[in-house]
Amino acid sequence: MSLGLPSKLPATPAIGELIARPSPTFSFEFMPPKTREGEQLLWQTIRELEPLRPDFVSITYGAGGSTRDTTVSVTERVATETTLLPMAHLTAVNHSVAELRNVIGRLAAAGIRNVLAVRGDPPGDPMGEWVRHPDGVLYAEDLVRLLREYGDFSVGVAAFPYKHPRSDDVESDTRNFIRKCRAGADFAITQMFFQADEYLRLRDRVAAAGCDTPIVPGVMPVLRMGTIERAAQLSGAPFPPALLARFERVADDERAVRALGIELCSEMCRRLLDEGVPGIHFITMNRSTATREVWQQLAPAALA
């Protein structure tokens, strides 16, 4: 369907094509800043991570569509002022289809060809009632279609190793995941998880259902005890008890907690790479040190 807008976007690489190559991609996720200090921290982090030459970086979209303008402007600035290939996240919360088309048009006009289409959570309580905008869309699948209608976007979607917290069971979660892949997603990135087997089970059940969309694991090391609770909320599953016990043994020692978090995340990434994952996506929380530490543990494997 033509919207009277250009159907061919400039020749920036398609992340879907990079992920489909045999060697794994490495990528970093950033959040749009909310304050002046946050903005300085983000750009310092981007500059510190740029020399690692990730295959791409992604910029999230704030809850409730709150960072629409910042997400677009940060993504555009990464594209024009750095050597990095950016991907914008886009959510459906609080947006009519007309508004979504407007954002998509702005991304295309800025030469952004890569978009992660996620439904988004309600602002405030992520598990609160999801209310569709009266003129909006209901599922990520619909966002994928909107992007596809527009033109030559490479589109990613979200995957949930433990199933999405709103899904009744793993079977319906898998079916719905495959629907959005078939709607036109080129790749998926997972929610954070802490045991390689959780990812491998997801990969196997999706493959067994006949879907070959590559699924990139999203990872984040535990750096403090507070991360564990937050991670459990986001992933929709209790933190693995055996790992929790290891963190609890050193809970009084901040440096030991951090060191254990880096060690466990690096070990998990190594196993994932041995299992042939299509890439590793680091959730950075806009800081570079922990990501660099895990990266350094993996670099020889990554460059092999």
Which of 24, 218 has the CB closer to ligand FAD?
Answer: 218
Q: Tell me which residues in 47-76 interact with ligand FAD (CB under 6 A).
A: 60-61, 63
Which of 141, 260 has the CB closer to ligand FAD?
Answer: 141
Which of 193, 257 has the CB closer to ligand FAD?
Answer: 193
Q: Does 115 bind ligand FAD (CB under 6 A)?
A: no
48 a catalytic residue = no
Q: Which range in 35-43, 112-120, 222-230, 285-293 contacts ligand FAD by CB under 6 A?
A: 112-120
Identify the residue among 55, 141, 198, 293 touching ligand FAD (CB under 6 A): 141
Q: Does 89 bind ligand FAD (CB under 6 A)?
A: yes
Enter the tokens of residue 168: 């009744």
Q: Which range in 17-25, 46-54, 100-108, 133-141 contacts ligand FAD by CB under 6 A?
A: 133-141
Q: Does 118 bind ligand FAD (CB under 6 A)?
A: yes
Q: Does 120 bind ligand FAD (CB under 6 A)?
A: yes
132: exposed, middle or buried (Cβ count in 10 Å: 0-12, 13-18, 19+): middle
Which of 164, 258 has the CB closer to ligand FAD?
Answer: 164
Q: Does 139 bind ligand FAD (CB under 6 A)?
A: yes
The rounded radius of gyration (Å) of the Cα atoms in the chain is 19
**Measured at the alpha carbon of residue 97, what is the angle toward residues 93 and 101, in degrees to the nearest 5?**
105
Distances (CA, A) of 160 to 31, 118, 147, 243: 20, 12, 22, 20
- Residue 163 CB, nearest approach to ligand FAD (Å): 8
Which of 76, 141 has the CB closer to ligand FAD?
Answer: 141
User: Site for ligand FAD (CB under 6 A): how many residues?
Assistant: 25
Q: How far apart are CA 191 and CA 283, in angstroms?
A: 9
**Order of strands, sheet of 215-216, starting from the edge strand that comes earlier in the sequence:** 215-216, 187-190, 154-159, 114-117, 86-90, 56-59, 25-30, 279-283, 218-219
Q: Tell me which residues in 211-250 interact with ligand FAD (CB under 6 A).
A: 218
Q: Tell me which residues in 166-195 interact with ligand FAD (CB under 6 A).
A: 166-167, 173, 176, 179-180, 189-191
The active-site residue, picked from 29, 76, 198, 293, is: 29
Q: How far apart are CA 215 and CA 156, in angstroms?
A: 9
Interface residues with ligand FAD (CB under 6 A)? 60-61, 63, 89, 91, 116, 118-121, 139-141, 158, 164, 166-167, 173, 176, 179-180, 189-191, 218
Catalytic residues: 29
